[in-house]
Amino acid sequence: MPDKEKKQGTNISRRNFLKGVGTGTVAATVAPSVLIGAEKEADAQTGDAVASATIQLNINGKPYQVEVEARTTLLTVLRDGIDTSGTNIDLTGAKLICDRGECGGCTVMVDGKTVYACMMLAMDAEGKQITTVEGLADGDNLHPVQDAFVQHDALMCGFCTPGFVVSSAALLSENTKPTLEEIKVGLSGNTCRCGTYPFIFDAVKTASKKM
């Protein structure tokens, strides 16, 4: 073979990197409430020695018990996780868009603060109050931010909308009367491609009057 020959397939991905970090975190900080059994190690026969554990998560006021790998992100659990009782968690409002904490499509609240769920390991969310876009409305009564988004048409394709709604709600919970500049700063971690920003700003202003 000539020198130019190249082998592919050995790239280290961010997840893999996170996996290492995550495993360390498990041992250091969440170990008391995490069950890491030898059989779980054995389950991970991928050759990557993936550790897994069963953890408790409180999502939108409801307790869930899920088995996760150390590398599993909070976003993956929300969207694809299966409760140990066999139910799909299926909270698909938060989206994976950029996959590296740049676009805010996966924004959720953890203990009242916005986080990028794609950048948080599920194990690190244990014992915390997780609020997703599905948990903002009170039954049929929309959160003021949600209602204002609809009235102002602050959405088009809607794919980024859950992230913007959660960020807007979090912004207004800290600052009930933000200026336009403060709205721009508060939502600067979210990206929209359809170009709904002007009506999002209007919607947040309208919602702020009801806070």
Residue from the set 10, 38, 63, 86 that interacts with another protein by CB under 8 A: 10
Counting contacts by CB under 8 A, is residue 13 touching another protein? yes
CA distance 104 to 63: 25
- Of 25, 117, 46, 127, nearest in space to 36 by CA: 25
Report the nearest approach of another protein to the CB of residue 97 (Å): 5
Which helix (H) or strand (E) covers residue 107, if one does?
strand 107-110
Residue list 180-199, contact with another protein (CB under 8 A)? 183-185, 187-188, 190-199
CA distance 155 to 150: 8
CA distance 191 to 210: 25
Site track 57-76 with another protein (rule: CB under 8 A), x = hit: ------------x-xx---x
Counting contacts by CB under 8 A, is residue 15 touching another protein? yes
Residue list 115-174, contact with another protein (CB under 8 A)? 132-134, 136-137, 142, 145-146, 149-151, 153, 155-162, 165
- Of 174, 169, 163, 172, nearest in space to 196 by CA: 163
Taking the least distance from each CB to another protein, the nearer of 125 and 165 is 165
